[in-house]
Structure 1
Amino acid sequence: MQRFSLKAPVLLRSMANSIGFCKKLIALPLLSCAVPALAETPAAVNSGDTAWMLISTALVLLMIIPGLALFYVGMVRAKNALSLLTQMLCMTALVMVLWPLIGYSLAFSGSSPFFGNLTNAFLKKVTPDSINGTIPEYVFVCYQMTFAAITAALALGGFAERIKFRAVMLFTPLWLVLVYLPLAHMVWSSDGYFFKMGVLDFAGGTVVHINAGIAALVGCLMIGKRSGYGKELMAPHSMMMTLIGTGLLWVGWFGFNAGSALGANASAGLAMINSFVATAAAILVWIATEALVGRKPSLLGACSGAIAGLVAITPAAGNAGPMGAIAIGALASFGCFWMVVYVKPKLKFDDALDAFGVHGVGGIIGSVATGLFCSPLLGGPGKADYMIGHQLFLQIFAVVVAVIWSAIGSAIAFYIVDKLVGLRVTKEEEAMGLDISEHDERAYNMNSL
C-alpha cells in the first residue's frame, strides 16, 4: 500500500501529460485549417452597417429615378416632359458608367488637397475583401456613385426645355471631371483641402447642392431664356407628378442624409430626425410666407418648401440638433422663397425649375447655418470648446470657394459643349416641343386614349 501510494501520483501525472500532448497534436491540423477561414472574412466589416448602406444606396437611386424625375417633369410643359425624363435617365446612366472608370478614383484617391489621381481607375485595387470603415468598399463606391449622379441631374432644372440632348450627354462627363470630382475630393477625401481644414458638410451641402445650383444658374444664363419667357404662361403641366416626386425625394433623402453616417449608428439617427423636422418646418414657413405676402397657399409652394428644407439640412444633418434643424429649415425656406418669388423675376433670369433658387440658395444657407447650430450652446453635437466664430468663417470660406469653383468650371464645360455640338435647340424645335423634335416621341399620346 505504501509503495503504491507513492508511485500513483507520478503515474497519473504522466498519463495526464500524455493525453494533453495528444490533444495538442490533434488540434494542430484543425487550427491550421481554421486560420485561412478567419482571414477570408474581415473582422472590421459590420453586417448591420453594410445592410443599412445597401438600403441607403437604393434610396438615393430612388431620389433620382423616379423621385427627382417626377418632381421636375411635373413642372415643365407637357410637350417637353418626355425629353426631360430621357435626359435624366441617360445622364444618370452615363455617370454610373464613368464613376467606376475614373470618377471614384479622381474623387477619393491620392494625397493632393485639391485633386484625386487615377490610382483606383477602373476600380483597380478595389476587391470584395477591401473595406471602407465598417462596410465593403464596393458598397461605398456604389453609394458615392449615386451622389454624383443626382448632382448632375439636379443641374438640369436650371436650363430645362431648351437644351439639346447631345449637349446634355457631352456636358455630363466634362462637368463631372472639371467640377464635381475635385470638389468632392476637397470636401470628403481624408486628404482633401476642406476636410483637413475642418469644414462641416455631413451629406453634401457644398458638393451637391451649391455645386448643382451654381451650374444650373450658369447654364440658364449661357443658354438663354426659353422663347416666350415672361410673355406667356409656362405653368407646370402636372402638380400631381411634382407632389409624388416630392414624396419620393423626401423618403429617398433619408438614405442621402442618414446614409452619410456610413453606418447604422447614433449619427444616422440624428440625421434622420433632422431630415424630418427641418423639412416639415420649411413646408409650413413657405406656405405661411405666401399667406403673409397676400398669396394663396399653393401646392407648388409647399413642395418647393419641402425641397428647400431637405437641401438646407443636408450639410447639418449630423451636425445640428433637432431644434437647430427646425431653425435651419425655416431660414432656408424663407430665403429660397424670396429668391424664387422676388429676386428671380426682378433679375429676369430663366432658372426654369428653380434649381439655383432652391438648391443653390438653400445649400448656401444650410452650409453657413451648420457652423452656427453645431454649437452645443444651440443644441448641436459640437465639443464643449466649439468656437462658433471660427467655424462660421470656415463654412463661409468653403461656400465662396465652392461657388467660384462651380461657376468657372461649369462655364468652361458649357463653352466647350457649345463649340462642339451647340447648346440650344432651334426656335422651331423649341416651339414644337423637345419630345418630338429631339426624340420623336410624346409623353402623352391623345390618339391612344
Structure 2
Amino acid sequence: MTIERTDLPSGLTVVTEDVPGARSASFGCWVRVGGRDEVAELAGASHFLEHLLFKGTEERSGREISEAIEAVGGELNAHTAHEHTAFYTRVPAAAAAVGLDLLADVVTSPAFDEDDVESERQVILEELHLAEDEGDDRVLSLAHEALWGDHPLGREVLGSLETIDAMEREAIAGFFDRHYHPANLVLVAAGAVDHAQVVAAGERFPARTIGERPARVAPAVATPVQRTALLRRPLEQAHVAVVWDGIAADDPDRYALSVCNQILGGGLSSRLFQEIREERGLAYSVFSSLASYSDAGSVVAYAGTSPERATEVRELILETAAGMVAGGVTEREWEVALGYLEGASLLGLEDSGSVMARLGNHVCAKGEVIPLEKQLAKLRAVTRADVHAVAERLLAAEPAVCGVGPPHRPRPRRLTAPAARRPGVATRRWCRRAAPGARRGGRGGERSPR
C-alpha cells in the first residue's frame, strides 16, 4: 500500500492510499469542526449541516444526488462527532470519478434551500425525540453530562429541541462559511484510487480569505461535575452507566487503557460480560467503552437490566472496576486482550472504506497518518503492570453513576419454568452499543462511536 500526501495552496490537505487489488474506491472529506466547536445557541449546527449538505447543491437536487450514487451501486453518508464532521462515499472502482465528483459537489456547493432547512429541521427534531426515548442512548449522554457539565463535550451533538427549533438558515449558512474552508478540511481516498485525480478534485474546493479554526478550551480538571444523575422514564428496562474521567487521545497511557478497557468490558471474555451476563444473567447488553479527544476523555461502563436489579448491577460494575484497581489483571486476560486488539485492528482495514476512515481520522486529529505497524508495536509493548497502573490512575477515582428508567417495581412471579436455553449465535449475541457523541445522521440514522 502506498500513502501519498499533497498540501494545496488553498490549505486543503489531500491524502490517498492505493490498495492493490481493491475493487472499490472510498473518498472522504473530514472537517475539523464538530459539536464542541459550537456556541451554546448553535448547539447542533454541525449535525444540522451534515443533513443539509445532502439535500442539494447548486448543480443537483437532493433526489439527483441520491439517484447518482445509487445508479452505480455506491453509498454516500456522513457522521458528526465532537471534534470533526465527516462526509464520505464508497463506490465500485469503475465509478470512482462519480463518487469523487459527488463528494466534492456536496461539500463545496450546498444550496441551503429554505424549504430543505425546514424539512430537515423536522427530521432532526424527530431524531432528538427518538434519542430521548431510547434509554441506552440517553443514559450514555447523561453520563457525559454528569462528567463534564456545561462544557461542550458534555452536550449531545444533535443539539437540543430548543436550539434546533430556533436555528435559522442564515445562522447555519454562516457556520458553514466560517468553518468549511480548505484549511479546515482533509480530503482522503483509499482503494482503487489515483492520487492525481483526487488532487484535481481538491483544487475545485474554493479558496476563501475568511474562515477560522475553532479555539477549544479543555474541561475543568475537577470531574465529574455531578456524582449521580437519574432520569425517570416509562421504560421496560433500567439503563445504568458508570463514568470515570479518561485521558486525551495523545496520552502515553492510551494503549494501556485500550487493553484495560478490553479486559473490563470490551468483549465476550471481559469481566463485566462474564460476571453480569454469563454468570448471573442480570443483563443482555453490558459493555465498557472509551472516548478520547484532543484534551479530555472518558471511560464508561453500561448495562441494561430490569428495574429491580439496577442497584445490584451498579454495584457489580463498581466492584469489578475496584477489583482491577486492587489486583491488576491476569496473564491470560492480558494475552487475550492484546490478541483481540491487534487482530481487530487488522481486520478493520479489510475494505477501502475502513482504510479511508483511518486516513481521515489520523490526519484530522494528529496532522499525519501513523503507520499501522508503529501503532501495533506500541500495543504489543503494553505490560500487565502498565494495565494495572492505568487502572489505578483512572478507575480508583470516584465516578459518576447515572440511570435512566422507571421507578423500582416488584418483579412478577414466574408461573412456568423457563424453556431450556438452546446454544447458538442468538443466545450468545454480544449486544454492544457505542457511546453517543458521533451521529451518522442524514443518510441512515446509525450512530458512530463517541
Same fold (TM over 0.5): no
Which has a greater percent of strand? 2
Task: Point out the structure with max Rg over C-alpha.
Answer: 1
Q: What TM-score comes out, normalization by structure 2 length?
A: 0.26
Which has a greater percent of helix? 1
